[in-house]
Structures are given as structure tokens and as C-alpha cells.
Amino acid sequence: MFALLSTAGVALVQLAFAFLLAPVLTGLAICCGGLLLLLNRPVTRRTEVLAEEAQAKRLQMMSAISEHLGGMKVAKSHGREGRHLAHFQSVITDIAAHAVEWIRVWAASRARYDIGAVLAPAFFLYFSTTFTQLRSTELLLFLFIFTRFLPRISSIQANWLYVLQMLPSFAAWKRLRDQFLQAQEPAWPESPRRLPFQKEIRFEGVSFAYGEKCQHAALRDVNLVIPAGQTMAFCGRSGAGKTTLADILMGLIRPSAGRVLIDNTLLEGENIHHWRRSVGYVPQEPFLFNETVRANLLWAQQGATEQDLRAALRASAAEEFVDQLPSGLDTLVGDRGVRLSGGERQRLTMARALLGQPSILILDEATSSLDTENERLIQKAIHRLHGQLTVVGIAHRLSTVRKAHSIIVLNRGEIVEHGTWQALVSRPDSLFAGIVQAAAQ
């Protein structure tokens, strides 16, 4: 863009001086340059199309790379590495062919200007010497103007084609930037604190959709009360909106409509950061940093003592296996906890959440990677927290919700049923009863 502006600026200065010396001849040179631009208009349109296609092909390449790396284990386990390689080669070949087409279009545009820069003054000289009586000084002045002006037109066109090639990428960047700014959280407060939670969490008309163009809302007009000190479970089939509801509860995403209140305090602005200090979260896919067991636990509470660490490990049925590690609490767990089994990572994640002494514990099927014995131990530990800690669980395995005070059943983003296990199961026409029957088969 700067090259285009500088070239255009130099061309305007040259034209101004040329116009002062010979306005008629300068006007003729401008007409020739305009004619060249007009003749090159199809090339410009083709460049615009190629630029849009290039942006789409770059996205395809990034998608192919991500899919290749993410699905490498699946591809190898099925012996289909060749299919992955063929797909990636097809994408790369397509991009290479597109790049060759762009070079061909650019070269054709440059060739037209170079040919025009030779033919235009040649024809002018022929007609001027044959049919007019221009003096030699005027002819030399005309050639001087042409040799200075037409190359600038060629440079302007080349730079403009480059700008057209970059415009789709710039537009995509601007859209992404606008999305980030729209979803930007408030600045981290200077003195973060816990948000008081003594009575209840209230959802009032909460709706949410992923993206403006999404036709189906993940949540629709959810009204819900979570009393303090109780255990509540979110149930429903895949895609019902359970995880979205939990994300809104943690303040990770903002509702498209409606609001969330924590003891009559609106969950927005700096209150989101304060609230997160009161939340303990155990995801379905446990994540550990490439640090020691101790360092991973201290993410939840920096000043925790050895006794605090031990209590959290004991509550999550992790103390025994941690003691058996080569360096105990000071054992490196590897990238994303690769040196530990899935169940061990899950229990450490549970310990980290409990170490922060949260006011509310959110479990995204936290026992899915555990064996029956460890699941039983964790369930007993969670049950001992009844009345002391508010627990919200996203349940896929129904054995984890039997003792919940209340079960919320979602379907297509709406709460369709709620009640205790016995109350829901006793209604044979209920959605939850059908889920229980399907799980028992």
C-alpha cells in the first residue's frame, strides 16, 4: 500500500511539471495511460477473484494441517496414513496451481503495459511525422513525458494488483479482530477478591448462540436457580446445552440475552474475575502443565501448605499414586501430563480444584476416566461436601447424579424437566426416564 501511494505521488508530481511544460502533449499521455488501464480491467477483475480464492485455499491448508496433526493417531491405528498424505498433497498442489495462475495473470498485466508503453509513443511518432508538423523539440518532449509517465502507470497497476491480492486477508483479519474486541473481557482488577456467594445463583431468561449466523441457539430462555450448598446435575443428550450452561455459569462466555445473578450481584464486568476466584472447575479432558505435581496444584492456591496439598490429594483419591511417583509431589508430569495415565490426570485436576477452596465446584463428568473403585472414592468425597460446598455436575454417566439434590434435564437448549432422581424416574413418560432406561440396556 505504501509503495502504491509513493509511486502515485511521484507520478502526480511528474504530471504537474509536464503539464506546465506541454499541457496538450501531457493530456495525450494521460489518455494513453487511461486507455491502458481500461484495457487491463479484465486482469484486475480476475485478480480480485483469485485473491478471494487464495484466502479460501489458505484456510483449507490450515484446516488440513490441523486435521492431519489431530487425527494422526487415528490414521495410524487404521493404517490410513496414505489417505491423509494424499489429501494434504492435493491441497498443496491446488495452492501451487493457484499461485502459478496468479503469476501468469500478473505477468500478462505487466506485458500489456510494457507493450503499450512501446506501441503508444511509436504510433504517436508515426502519425505526428506523417500527418502533422510537430517540431523536433516537441517530439522529444513528448517522448520524455511518455518515458517518465507510462512506467509509473505500470508500477501503480502492479502495486494495485498486489493490494487486491491482500485485501481478502485484511478483511478476514478485520472480521476476526472485531469478534475478539466484541468478546473482550474487562481488564483484570488490581485487587481481585472472591465474590460473595451465600444464597443462590439465578439465571434469568438466559439465551446463547455460537456466532451471529448460527440458526440454532445453544440455550433458549433458561430460567434456573442454584441454591447454595446443594448438589445439582445437568443431564441430557449430546448437544443439549449442558456444557454451554456451565461455561456461562463460570463466566467464560456471556449470554446473548438474559443475565446471571450471584446473590443479586450481576455477573458482568470485574465481577467475572472475582467470581472465578470462587469457582473450582474439573473438565472432562484434564489438562496439566509441563511442571511438577506440586506446581500444577499451586495454580489453584499459590500459598498452599504441604498439609493443604495432602488434604486435596486425599479428597480426590490421588494421594496414594502421588506418593508412588519417583519424586512424589516434585515429579514432572510432562507435556499435558503425558507421563500419567488418564485417571491419574483426572484425579490431580480434581485435587487442584479442591485446593482452591471454591464456593462452587463444577464437574464436567469428572469421573469419566476413573475405574470403579476410584470413582466410588471421589463420589464419597464429593458427597461429604454436601451442605458445605455447592456442586454442579455435567452428567453423562448417570451413576454420578443419583445423590444430587436436583437434576436439570436439558433438550435442544431448553430445560424440559427438573427434580430429584426418584421424582424423574417415577414418571415413565419423562425424557430422563428414557435416558435411564437406555443406559440400563
In angstroms, rounded to a whole number, what is the distance separating the alpha carbons of residues 43 and 39? 9
In angstroms, rounded to a whole number, what is the distance separating the alpha carbons of residues 3 and 155? 9
> Shortest CA distance to 296 belongs to which of 270, 271, 316?
316
In angstroms, rounded to a whole number, what is the distance separating the alpha carbons of residues 189 and 271? 9
In angstroms, rounded to a whole number, what is the distance separating the alpha carbons of residues 101 and 57? 13
In angstroms, rounded to a whole number, what is the distance separating the alpha carbons of residues 219 and 235? 14
Q: How many helices (H) and strands (E) does the chain have?
A: 15, 10
> Shortest CA distance to 368 belongs to which of 341, 342, 391, 392?
342
Question: DSSP of 190-242, one letter per residue?
Answer: SS--PPP-SSEEEEEEEEE-SSTT-SS-SEEEEEEEEETT-EEEEE-STTSSH
Residue 274 pLDDT exceeds 60: yes
Say if residues 408 and 244 touch (Cβ distance below 8 Å): no
Say if residues 193 and 77 touch (Cβ distance below 8 Å): no
| Encoded amino acid at 272, one letter | I
Residue 393 pLDDT exceeds 70: yes
Residue 146 pLDDT exceeds 80: no
Beta bridge mates, 226: 201
State residue 441's pLDDT score: 55
Domain with CATH 3.40.50.300 in the chain: 200-440
- Structurally, at CATH architecture level, domain 2-182 sits in Up-down Bundle (1.20)
Measured at the alpha carbon of residue 274, what is the angle toward residues 218 and 205, in degrees to the nearest 5? Answer: 30
- Name residues whose C-beta falls within 8 Å of residue 38's C-beta, 6 or more positions apart in sequence: none
- Mean pLDDT rounded to a whole number for the chain: 76
State residue 217's pLDDT score: 78
DSSP state, residue 187: P
**pLDDT grade, residue 148 (50/70/90)?**
low
State residue 228's pLDDT score: 85
Contacts of 282-285 with C-beta under 8 Å, sequence gap 24+, read 282/346, 282/349, 282/350, 282/353, 282/361, 282/362, 282/363, 282/364, 282/366, 283/349, 283/364, 284/364, 284/365, 284/366, 284/368, 284/394
Q: Which of 110-124, 331-345, 401-415 has the lowest mean pLDDT?
A: 110-124
Which three cell numbers, joined as nine digits, stand for 84? Answer: 491423509
Residue 8 pLDDT exceeds 70: no
The CATH number of domain 200-440, selected from 3.40.50.300, 1.10.3720.10, 3.50.50.60, 1.10.630.10: 3.40.50.300
φ and ψ of 256, to 5 deg: -70, -30
State residue 371's pLDDT score: 66
Say if residues 271 and 265 touch (Cβ distance below 8 Å): yes
Residue 215 pLDDT exceeds 60: no
Q: Which of 59-68, 133-142, 335-344 has the lowest mean pLDDT?
A: 133-142
**pLDDT grade, residue 196 (50/70/90)?**
confident
Mean pLDDT of 227-236: 84
Share of the chain above pLDDT 90, in %: 0
Q: Which residue has the higher pLDDT, 178 or 260?
A: 260
Domain with CATH 1.20.1560.10 in the chain: 2-182
DSSP state, residue 132: -
State residue 277's pLDDT score: 82
Cα distances (angstroms) measured from residue 427 to each of 418, 434, 437 = 12, 10, 12
Burial class of residue 13 in the structure, from the number of CB atoms within 10 Å of its CB (0-12 exposed, 13-18 middle, 19+ buried): exposed
